[in-house]
Structure 1
Amino acid sequence: MKKILILMLFISQIIFAKTASWYGKGFDGKPTASGYLYNSEELTCASNTYPFGTVLKVTNKENKKSVIVVVTDRGSFSKKYGRSIDLSKTAFNKIAKSGEGLIKVDIEVVNKKHTFKYKHGSPKFTHKEYKEFLK
């Protein structure tokens, strides 16, 4: 019985493991689903699970490095590629090497105070705005 429980736990971690990748090349300057223009140098991400403006802490399970990102985009990556989240290239590089491509992560909600349905006004997501989301 104990062996079965251990096996079930192991299988569930494989099946339900959260994974992250990065996106950047070819998307810079293009509008995201939230209305912001994508900038691979900002600490943002694409998620189909969390509302725009949600601040997330994404931790690489292998090396325990973390990055704080703001959800500014959606994607078809979850069904098509099985990923939980796509990080901007800069955000991904803070916790892994871009050559790794796909990593296992933990995702934790840090702040939901600034969620929104669609961004109105200036479409540029800047470092100053990033700091405002963290408050």
Structure 2
Amino acid sequence: MILSRPLHLILMLLLAIAVAGCSSTGGRKKGGGYYKDDGPDANPPSNLDQVPDAVPRIEPYASGANRPYVVFGQRYVPDTSGQPYKQRGTASWYGKKFHGNSTSIGESYDMYAMTAAHTTLPIPSYARVTSLVNGKTIVVRVNDRGPFHSDRIMDLSYVAAYKLGIIGPGSGQVIVESIPQAEIRRLASQGAPAAPEPASATGSLPVLAPVAAVPVALTAEDRK
């Protein structure tokens, strides 16, 4: 079919707009973030590799953030029993779009702190996260709720995702393991070396040195 020149120009213009749109919203592969319009800061710090893991310590649970709740018609019941938790699934990350926003316990989200969001782990609490792709392990402080998507089990801060190696793809297969308060107390009773108490922390036990600097040994079953 032969198109008139005006119609031909209109179609070419629409095609150009579509192509430009695809290139500017190249999803998580281009921008890096899992969420639309999210991504790293324009000038991220140069020392992200040196950001230490979260240091587990005893903290009182936030009462309001550990009650059952409903999001998108799905009911979630946070588990404050102290029982060990281990789950395999997909972790994603959130960055500058949420930087400075309030978390579920009223803290400001800091994309450069070793934190994470989880739907049912008690908050605040601590967890080991191990990549099933490269075997790297990090320790994060869980201080937020989410992700509310059936295909993901945890949202990591930008720097946590960076250290785990999932910034580029936007998500990755991981194993999440809780660090219960009983384990933190056990390490304290064994005389684990203590780190300086954060200036903002009050009413807590001495801060312990990171308990998961050694990568978790992955079994053949974990790697399937």
| Counterpart selection for 1:95 from 164, 171, 174 | 164
1:55 is aligned to 126
| Counterpart selection for 2:152 from 54, 73, 83 | 83
What's the TM-score once normalised by structure 1's chain length?
0.68
Q: Cα deviations across residues 51-80 of structure 1 (Å, max 9, x unaligned)?
A: 10111000001100011001110124333x
1:41 is aligned to 112
Contact 2:88 2:176 in 1 (8 A): no
More helix by share: 1
**Residue 32 of structure 1 pairs with residue 106 of structure 2:** no
Q: How does 1:99-118 map to 2 (within 5 A)?
A: 99-112=168-181
Relative to structure 1, is the Cα distance of residues 60 and 133 closer, same or farther in structure 2, using a 3 angstrom cutoff? farther
Q: 2: CA distance between counterparts of 1:70 and 1:133?
A: 16
Structure 1 counterpart of 2:144, which letter? D
1:120 is aligned to none
Structure 1 unmatched ranges of 5 or more: 1-15, 115-126
Larger deviation, residues 54-63 vs 68-77:
68-77
Structure 2 unmatched ranges of 5 or more: 1-86, 185-196, 209-224
Relative to structure 1, is the Cα distance of residues 133 and 32 closer, same or farther in structure 2, using a 3 angstrom cutoff? farther
Larger Rg: 2
> What count of residue pairs does the alignment treat as equivalent?
105
What's the TM-score once normalised by structure 2's chain length?
0.42
**Shift, 1:100, TM fit:** 1.3
**Shift, 1:97, TM fit:** 3.8
Q: 2: CA distance between counterparts of 1:24 and 1:77?
A: 16
Structure 2 counterpart of 1:49, which letter? T
Structure with more contact order per residue of length (Cα contacts < 8 Å, sep ≥ 6): 1
Structure 2 counterpart of 1:36, which letter? E
Q: 2: CA distance between counterparts of 1:47 and 1:78?
A: 11
**Shift, 1:17, TM fit:** 4.3
